[in-house]
Structure 1
Amino acid sequence: MSSAYLDIQSIGIVGGGAMGRGIAQIAILSGHFVYLYDNNAEAVAAADAALRTTLATLVEKGKLDAKASEVALGRLKLCNDLADLRGCELIIEAIIERLDVKQALFGQLEKIVAGDCILASNTSSLSITAIAAACAQPERVVGFHFFNPVPLMKVVEVIDGLRSDSAAGDALMALTRKMGHTPVRARDMPGFIVNHAGRAMNTEGLRIAQEGVATFAEIDAIMRDQAGFRMGPFELMDLTGLDVSQPVMESIYHQFYEEARYRPSPIAAVRLAGGLLGRKSGEGFYLYRDGKKVEPELPMVASTNEGMPSIPVWVSPAHPQGSAALKTLLQRLGVTPQPDASPSKDALILVTPFGSDASSTAAEQGLDPKRVVAVDTLMDLEKASRRTLMSTPATDIAMLAAARAIFGADGVAVSMIRDSCGFVAQRMVAAIVNTACDIAQQQIASTSDIDSAVRFGLGYPHGPLTLGDKVGAAHLLEVLRNMLQGSGDPRYRPSSWLVRRVQTNLSLTIAGNY
């Protein structure tokens, strides 16, 4: 592959839908000539009209100079025949997600374009190696995965198939930067980086709901207010649409030969079958009216008017890290825990497990399950705007009410969930970090590209590996090991990447000697 293509100027785009239009927009605005083709002539005309409207809107809002808009549109060439793309240095296909259709298209293009023209697929789920297998020159086929909406989603995955020439990927990395986006490089594996890493939040959220631990809204609220995410899993799936996210979940699960970490849930399958797709259908995990989510009432949210109970409180010292954080918070809330080695007979018993449930924690420590309430202390208790409490099935209602009043005394929201290994935030953050660690272990992408791809592609507050360091890799390993033991589910197997970095005291973002 010629190094001249590090400076690609003319780009052919096949597909006039949302993705094709978005790619065309950032390409013409960055000084590239775009030849836009669709086998449906109406789609080409609609794409042209949409692009002109978008650029006009940017001009009206003062985000684009009128002359720059005019010049950019002058670089857009509408094509009625695939042969019109013959002079392009790069072709990007953004068509239907069917392997046979993409293979057929690339077969046609090989007969039209020059021998050193790069053929790039915007596929989100199909193997680049498989697409290239039908080509006479598979070395020039590369993945070039943009995210919707393209102008706003600033990350692009460049995927090397088994036969891809690395120079072709290098050319696309350089082109992405010129278009103002951030490129990340990945090996050809199911889901690449973003769709692979994104399975953790969605599938774990569904699993928590399936176990009846908390409602959709409660899970989302905990992930937003306690874990610091912009959206929870059910808000995210409603935004994407179950008709998009559920097939991806199933595809990645099967492509990894039923790997337990990616197991989908029947909850989503049933809702997809019933047409509850999310925002686009007016109903998903939430109801929508006039395009806006109808906010459901969250159960058991603390109120400052409940008053501080006079009940004695005892904090188990069995988990030093958690108990220390909890005692600090209680002191600030005006509660002085009993200093005794064991609780008095009428005390509220607070435990702070990492990855274990309240019932097993009570049993292991010989505590009265009727008085036990577990508190999630993995995330920063002082910074979070929500606290999560968990009871055993036997916990007395009066003890629950006392705990709720204590932890909501300063006006911070309190979520009460059913007994579960790993609460909600613990198990979801652990799953997100563990999946990213496994992507790094498989050398699908570099640690920096994993973090960048997920942060920009999914809108997480931190890249997952950086998040793991921030929360504490050793704590997350403890969560995973206890969840694996408590549930027996292999989905919670800790990644070797995580285990070895805890053992050697290395950051999760450091590859080390391999």
Structure 2
Amino acid sequence: MSLSLSKQSVIAVVGAGAMGAGIAQVAAAAGHRVKLLDTRAQAAEQAIAGVRAQFSKMAAKGKMTSEAATEAGERLIAVTELTDLADASLVIEAIVENLAAKQKLYSDLEAIVGVDCIFGTNTSSISVTAMGAALKHPGRLAGLHFFNPAPLMALVEVVSGLATEESVAQTLFATATAWGKTAVHAKSTPGFIVNRVARPYYAEAMRVLAEGGADTATFDACCREAGGFRMGPFELMDMIGHDVNFSVTRSVWNAFFNDPRFLPSLVQQELVDAGYLGKKTGRGFYDYSADAVRPAPATESAKATPTHIVVYGESIVAKALAARLQANKVAFTQSPAKGDLLAQAGDAWVYVTDGRTATRRAFESGTANTVLIDLALDYNTATRLALSVAEACDDAAAAQAIGLLQSAGFAVSRFNDVPGLAVMRTVAMLANEAADAVNQGVCNAQGADAAMRLGVNYPCGPLAWADVVGLHNISLVLNHLSQTYGEDRYRLSPLIQHKVYSKKNFHD
């Protein structure tokens, strides 16, 4: 088992911006002497002053003692020359995202530091393999990708390039763990884990928007209130900045030789072209001007509770629906499972979406009054559900389905009849991308789930979530989306196929 770098090891951080300062704070708090270098005059000194102020605030809040705060601050040293880093055991660069600049930095350092010094690049997107190709000893280089803000975000991706020595990756993994972080191993492929697997969270939302399935506020609300995500995709893109988010998407798409799975959205291209970059410019998908009113999600008006309700089977969804109806003292009957029918509400037949449109499902089943509901992280506690209605469904039956959900305590957002609604298609695509990353040896299932929970605050790892939904159901959703769109974008990961055929889950 690899040991972490000892507290006597000097840590060097090159780049005193937000990421570099944050990484320096983490290392100093863990007990290391930290040298901070930046080519900009006084930048390192100013960053250290800011970190020391953070330590003082933490002491004031009782998160560390005053003595520990003072000592941690004193371990931070501003330096001005690369030669000042000669005694470093680990050099972490957090400079501009430019391959040539990073290669030059580490090439210059090779003539200065000891042979055992490890190079840990904080790059979020540049190939570690390509960076190492310029070094005499590329085995000493690995990715050490912190997430912003580094002191608060728990995840660190330890990224191995083709030449990275296993002992180097293991030492960085152990060191990050000793610093209080959750480290995950990753292979140097485009986007590593998080920036790759997260692409569908944005892409599926923009596709539904482009097709008129739902507006931004409604889609976001469903992702939060049904999916349990901390932020919906549109508000999250506004916060990140569309220039940044679009650039990452294009970078991953180009790096995968224009694989349609990562195809950028024309919707976002328009925002970038218009200069509507999100919060930082005052406008993105939402208007952030002082007098702007935040749009409310589309919510169905109150409908009468159906006089005839039947809940079918013992699925997770059926049990939750029955429990909510009971809690609200709504009369209903329970019957044995009837295929994948969830409930009858008067004349409406209610199903959980399987990736088909309600209209297609009605046609194929011969049941005109077909209504679909979306996936929820927890149907027992979700406060909102998306719903779609077949073209042939009559208005009275649609109202009965809406009344059923409202009587169970859900706010109901009616989508136009797009396949997979909001949460189901998003989770299926996230799970599919995570599965492909595992299948291609980028990470393991545990690493993929930890990365997405801790790196982007997903409420559940996508593969663990897929296990709960059922991999057969996930494969149905993806296959139906593929049939609808006729695009390779929705191709099913070979690993999900294998799991379905072997009747195994990702976390068995």
Say whether the 8 Å CA contact 1:142–1:159 is kept in structure 2. Answer: yes
Quote the residue 1:465 is aligned against: 463
What displacement does 1:459 show?
0.7
Report the residue type matching 2:495 in the other structure.
W
Quote the residue 1:96 is aligned against: 96
What displacement does 1:335 show?
5.1
Match for residue 418 of structure 1 among 411, 416, 419: 416
Report the residue type matching 1:76 in the other structure.
L
Say whether the 8 Å CA contact 2:154–2:455 is kept in structure 1. Answer: yes
- Unaligned 5+ segments in structure 2 are none
What displacement does 1:378 show?
6.8
Quote the residue 2:139 is aligned against: 139
SS in 1 for 2:42: helix
Report the residue type matching 1:508 in the other structure.
F
Quote the residue 1:391 is aligned against: 389
Please give the per-residue CA displacement for 1:317-375, whole angstroms capped at 9, x wherever unaligned: 9x99699669847965435699999999x93444444111111111111233xx44323
How far apart, CA to CA, are the structure 2 residues paired with 1:324 and 1:69?
A: 53
Say whether the 8 Å CA contact 1:302–1:408 is kept in structure 2. Answer: no
Please give the per-residue CA displacement for 1:486-508, whole angstroms capped at 9, x wherever unaligned: 22122211111111112112121
SS in 1 for 2:186: strand
Report the residue type matching 1:297 in the other structure.
A
What displacement does 1:255 show?
0.7
How far apart, CA to CA, are the structure 2 residues paired with 1:273 and 1:45?
A: 37
Residues 1:322 and 1:355: Cα distance change in structure 2 (over 3 Å): farther
What displacement does 1:294 show?
5.2
How far apart, CA to CA, are the structure 2 residues paired with 1:119 and 1:338?
A: 63
Whether 1:34 and 2:13 are equivalent positions in the alignment is no
What displacement does 1:376 show?
3.3
How far apart, CA to CA, are the structure 1 residues paired with 2:228 and 2:162?
A: 38
Say whether the 8 Å CA contact 1:16–1:43 is kept in structure 2. Answer: yes
Residues 1:478 and 1:379: Cα distance change in structure 2 (over 3 Å): farther
How far apart, CA to CA, are the structure 1 residues paired with 2:27 and 2:164?
A: 23
Quote the residue 1:502 is aligned against: 500
Quote the residue 2:265 is aligned against: 265
What displacement does 1:273 show?
2.2
Quote the residue 2:173 is aligned against: 173
What displacement does 1:4 show?
8.3
Counting matched residue pairs gives 499
SS in 2 for 1:7: coil
Say whether the 8 Å CA contact 1:25–1:151 is kept in structure 2. Answer: yes
Say whether the 8 Å CA contact 2:242–2:272 is kept in structure 1. Answer: yes
SS in 2 for 1:148: coil
Quote the residue 2:297 is aligned against: 298
Please give the per-residue CA displacement for 1:462-483, whole angstroms capped at 9, x wherever unaligned: 2221111122212111111222
Residues 1:211 and 1:329: Cα distance change in structure 2 (over 3 Å): farther
How far apart, CA to CA, are the structure 2 residues paired with 1:351 and 1:471?
A: 14
Report the residue type matching 2:136 in the other structure.
A
Report the residue type matching 1:229 in the other structure.
F
Report the residue type matching 1:438 in the other structure.
D
Say whether the 8 Å CA contact 1:308–1:409 is kept in structure 2. Answer: yes
What displacement does 1:309 show?
5.3
What displacement does 1:269 show?
1.5
Say whether the 8 Å CA contact 2:321–2:379 is kept in structure 1. Answer: no
Whether 1:307 and 2:307 are equivalent positions in the alignment is no
Say whether the 8 Å CA contact 1:390–1:417 is kept in structure 2. Answer: yes
Segment drifting more, 228-237 vs 190-199? 228-237
Say whether the 8 Å CA contact 1:392–1:418 is kept in structure 2. Answer: no
Quote the residue 1:44 is aligned against: 44
Quote the residue 1:80 is aligned against: 80
Quote the residue 1:252 is aligned against: 252
Q: TM-score, normalised by structure 2?
A: 0.90
Report the residue type matching 1:155 in the other structure.
L
Report the residue type matching 2:296 in the other structure.
E
Report the residue type matching 1:300 in the other structure.
T
How far apart, CA to CA, are the structure 1 residues paired with 2:74 and 2:272?
A: 43
Residues 1:27 and 1:377: Cα distance change in structure 2 (over 3 Å): closer
Quote the residue 1:334 is aligned against: 331
- Unaligned 5+ segments in structure 1 are none
Aligned ranges 1:69-468 → 2 under 5 Å: 69-288=69-288, 295-303=294-302, 306-308=303-305, 328=322, 332=326, 333-334=330-331, 347-368=347-368, 371-376=369-374, 380-468=378-466
SS in 1 for 2:212: coil
- Name the Cα RMSD after superposition: 3.0
What displacement does 1:387 show?
2.0
What displacement does 1:89 show?
1.1
How far apart, CA to CA, are the structure 1 residues paired with 2:63 and 2:379?
A: 41
Segment drifting more, 393-402 vs 198-207? 393-402
How far apart, CA to CA, are the structure 2 residues paired with 1:377 and 1:60?
A: 44
Residues 1:395 and 1:256: Cα distance change in structure 2 (over 3 Å): same
Say whether the 8 Å CA contact 2:347–2:400 is kept in structure 1. Answer: no
Residues 1:378 and 1:234: Cα distance change in structure 2 (over 3 Å): closer
Say whether the 8 Å CA contact 2:228–2:377 is kept in structure 1. Answer: no
Say whether the 8 Å CA contact 2:188–2:442 is kept in structure 1. Answer: yes
Say whether the 8 Å CA contact 2:325–2:331 is kept in structure 1. Answer: yes
Say whether the 8 Å CA contact 1:374–1:390 is kept in structure 2. Answer: yes
SS in 2 for 1:41: coil
Segment drifting more, 348-357 vs 16-25? 348-357
SS in 1 for 2:21: helix
Whether 1:7 and 2:20 are equivalent positions in the alignment is no
Quote the residue 1:477 is aligned against: 475
Please give the per-residue CA displacement for 1:260-287, whole angstroms capped at 9, x wherever unaligned: 2222211112112222222222322223
How far apart, CA to CA, are the structure 2 residues paired with 1:114 and 1:323?
A: 60
How far apart, CA to CA, are the structure 1 residues paired with 2:448 and 2:316?
A: 30
How far apart, CA to CA, are the structure 2 residues paired with 1:288 and 1:504?
A: 50
Say whether the 8 Å CA contact 2:373–2:387 is kept in structure 1. Answer: yes
Residues 1:448 and 1:336: Cα distance change in structure 2 (over 3 Å): closer
How far apart, CA to CA, are the structure 2 residues paired with 1:149 and 1:5?
A: 23
How far apart, CA to CA, are the structure 2 residues paired with 1:367 and 1:202?
A: 33
How far apart, CA to CA, are the structure 2 residues paired with 1:323 and 1:174?
A: 41
Segment drifting more, 15-24 vs 34-43? 34-43
Say whether the 8 Å CA contact 1:230–1:460 is kept in structure 2. Answer: yes
Residues 1:57 and 1:396: Cα distance change in structure 2 (over 3 Å): same
Residues 1:231 and 1:307: Cα distance change in structure 2 (over 3 Å): same
What displacement does 1:395 show?
4.1
SS in 1 for 2:419: coil
Say whether the 8 Å CA contact 1:13–1:24 is kept in structure 2. Answer: yes
Segment drifting more, 397-406 vs 99-108? 397-406
Say whether the 8 Å CA contact 1:22–1:149 is kept in structure 2. Answer: yes
What displacement does 1:449 show?
1.3
What displacement does 1:377 show?
5.9
